[in-house]
Structure 1
Amino acid sequence: MHKKHPHYFVYIFGEQPGSDVQIGIADNLQQHVAQKRQHENVLQNMGNMHKLVYYEHYDVEEVALNRERQIKSGDQNSTYNLIASMNPNWLDLSDTL
C-alpha cells in the first residue's frame, strides 16, 4: 500500500489591497475553498474575503506552520506585497488548484 504524499498549503483569502485578509493553513486547499464558499453562502457576512488571492505549497506540515506564523507576524503592507508578488491583480486563484 502506497502512502499518500502529504500536501500543506499556506493561504490568504482577501478581496483587494486595503481590505482585511485571512491567513491560514490547510491540508486540502481545494476542499477548504469549497467549504469556505459554502459557509459564506449560508452566512452572507464574509463577502470581503471570498477570493483565494495567495497560496504556497509545502510537503512538511511544520514548515507550512512556520511559514504561516511568519506571514501572520508581518505587518499589513508586507502581506499585501506578498500577495502582489504572486497575484498583482488580486484575482481569485482557486481555479488554479
Structure 2
Amino acid sequence: MKLWYIYIMTNKHQGVIYVGVTDNLIERVKAHKLKVYPNSFTAKYNCDKLIYFEEWDNGLEATIREKQLKKWKRDWKVKLIEDMNPTWMDISLNWNFDFSKVRSKK
C-alpha cells in the first residue's frame, strides 16, 4: 500500500511555514534540504526543517487536506504544529539521508 504525506517545513522556530504533499517524505525532505529546486518558495526562504507531518492512505484525500491546511490562518497552523512538536524541532534530524542520490521528479 502506498502512503501519502502532508508535511510542514520551516526555516526556524516560529518562522516561515510551508505546507506540502508527497508520496515519498524522505526524498521530498531531502530535496528541500538540498534546494533541488533553487527558485522554489522553500529554497528562497531556506525552509529545510521538517516540523510536522500526517500519513494518508489516499493521495486524493491527502491533496484535499494539503489545500485545506494552506488556507488555514497562521495561528491554526502553529497550533497544529505545536500540538505535535512544541519546540519546532526538525523531525528529520536523525534520518540517515543519502545525499549522493536524489529521486528525480516524474
TM-score of the aligned structures, taking structure 1 as reference length: 0.82
Q: In structure 1, how many angstroms separate the alpha carbons of the residues matched to 2:83 and 2:19?
A: 16
Alpha-carbon deviation of 1:85?
Answer: 0.7
Unaligned runs of 5+ in 2: 96-106
- Which runs of 4 or more aligned residues in structure 1 lie more than 4 Å from their structure 2 counterparts after TM superposition? 42-45
1:16 is aligned to 2:13 = yes
Q: In structure 2, how many angstroms separate the alpha carbons of the residues matched to 1:80 and 1:52?
A: 14
Per-residue Cα deviation, 1:59-86 (whole angstroms, up to 9, x for no partner): 1011101111111111000000000010
1:91 to 89, 94, 105: 89
1:68 to 63, 66, 77: 66
TM-score of the aligned structures, taking structure 2 as reference length: 0.75
Aligned twin of 2:34 = 38
Aligned twin of 1:52 = 50
* Amino acid aligned to 2:75: N
Q: CA RMSD for the aligned pairs?
A: 2.1
For this pair of structures, how many residues does the alignment match? 90
